[in-house]
Chains A and B, each alone.
Chain A
Amino acid sequence: MKAKFLVPLALFLLLAGFLAFGLNLNPREVPSPLIDKPAPAFSLPQLQVPDTQLSLDDMKGQVWLLNVWASWCVACRQEHPVLVDFASSHVVPIIGLNYKDQSPDALRWLDEFGNPYVTSIVDADGRVGIDFGVYGVPETFLIDKQGVIRFKQIGPVTPDALQNVILPKIRELQGAA
C-alpha cells in the first residue's frame, strides 16, 4: 500500500504508451482484405499496344509485381527510380497498372523517367483499380505463381521496403512450387 501514490503515474505511463503507439501508426494504411486471396481477374489493353490485351491468366506460373501508377501521381515519381533500378536486376517482371490516366501523358511519362515495366495495362475508368481495392496511387501488389496476392505495399516502394520486406517475400514465393 506504500506504493499507492505510484498508481496515477503508472496509469499515465500506460496512457502515454498507448498514445505513442497510436501516433506511430499510419491511418492511411488500411490493411487489404485481398491478401492471400486470388487476385481479381482482369483483361486490359496494353499501353504501348492497345490492340493486345493482358489478362491475369497470362501471368500464371510466375511471381510478379503489379505496380499501380499514373502520370498525375506525384508520389509515383518518388518511387519510380527505385522500380527502374529493381527492374534492371530482372528478379521478377513488373507489370504497370496505368490507373485513370491519359495514355499520351502516360507514354510521355515513361519516355521521360524510364520504363521499368514489362508492360503497362490501361485502366482508364479505374474499374480494375476498385477490384484490387486501390485507394491511393502508388500501390504495389506481389502476386504468386497461382495468382494469389501475397503482399501489398501502400504508397511508394522505398529501397528499404524493397530490400527488407518485398525481396525476401519474392525469394520465398519463387522457391515455392
Chain B
Amino acid sequence: MLRRIALTLLLALAPLTGFTADARPLVADPALEARVLKLSEVLRCLVCQNQSIAESNADLALDLRAQVREQLAAGKTEDQVVDYLVARYGDFVLYDPPLKGTTVLLWAGPALLLLSGLAWLGWRLSRRARESGVTLSAEQHARAKQLLESANEPEPRQ
C-alpha cells in the first residue's frame, strides 16, 4: 500500500521534470543568417558540383559560407558578394548563369529548338496539304473506278 502511494506521488511529480526552456536561436543574428542561406542557395559548391554551398558540407562550402556571412555582416550587398566569388571561381559558381556572349546558346537554345521544330512542322503540313490537292484527269478517274469495282467483286475460287 505504501509503495503504491509512493509510486503515485512520484508519477504525479513527473510533469515537473518535463519542463524545458525555449530553444535558443543557433545563430547570433537570425536575420543575417537568413540572408546568408538565401544567397548560399544560388551559389554552386565546386567540390560536390550538384549541390549549392547551402546544402554541401564540403570544407570548401563551409569556408565559402563563412566568407558570405562575413562579407554580408561587413555591410556588403548580395551583388558585391556574388561578384567577389565570380572573380575567383568564374560563372561556374552561379546556378543562374548570366546572359553573355558565351552563354547565348545556353539561353537561346531551347527557343531555337522550339522554333525550328515548329518551322519543320509547318513545312510538313503545308506540303501534305499540297499533295492531297492532286486532281485526276477523266481517264484516271475511270481507271480508278474500274480498279475499285474489281476489288469489290468476290475473288474467284481457285
Q: Which of B59, B88, B90 contacts A100 (CB 8 A)?
A: B59
* B67 close to A (CB within 8 Å): yes
Looking at chain A's contact residues, is the secondary structure mostly helix, strand, loop, or mixed?
loop
Inter-chain contacts of B123 with A (CB < 8 A): none
| CB contact under 8 A between A130 and B88, given known A100-B59, A135-B60 | yes
Residue of B nearest to A131 (CB): B88
A residues less than 8 Å from B89 (CB atoms):
30, 32-33, 133, 135
Indicate whether B87 reaches chain A with its CB closer than 8 angstroms. Answer: yes
State whether the Cβ of B47 lies closer than 8 Å to any Cβ in chain A.
yes
Chain B residues closer than 8 Å to A131, beta-carbon distance:
88
Chain B residues lying within 8 Å of A135, measured Cβ to Cβ, are 46-47, 60, 89
A148: B residues at CB distance < 8 A: none
The number of chain B residues with a CB under 8 A from chain A is 15
A34 contacts chain B at the CB level, 8 A cutoff: yes
For the complex, is A132 an interface residue (Cβ under 8 Å from B)? yes
Is B86 located at the chain interface by the 8 A CB criterion?
A: yes
A74 CB, min distance to chain B CBs, angstroms: 14
Instruction: List A contacts of B92 (CB < 8 A).
Output: 30-31
Q: Does A8 contact B (CB under 8 A)?
A: no
Q: Does chain B have a CB within 8 A of A136?
A: yes
A136 / chain B contacts, CB cutoff of 8 Å: 46-47
Task: Judge if B37 is at the interface, Cβ distance under 8 Å.
Answer: no
Given A32-B90, A133-B88; 8 other pairs, CB 8 A cutoff = A28-B49, A31-B92, A33-B90, A34-B88, A125-B63, A126-B60, A135-B60, A136-B46
21 contacts between A and B (CB under 8 A): A27-B49, A30-B46, A30-B90, A31-B90, A31-B92, A33-B86, A33-B87, A33-B88, A33-B90, A34-B88, A125-B63, A126-B63, A130-B63, A130-B64, A130-B88, A131-B88, A133-B89, A135-B46, A135-B47, A135-B60, A136-B46
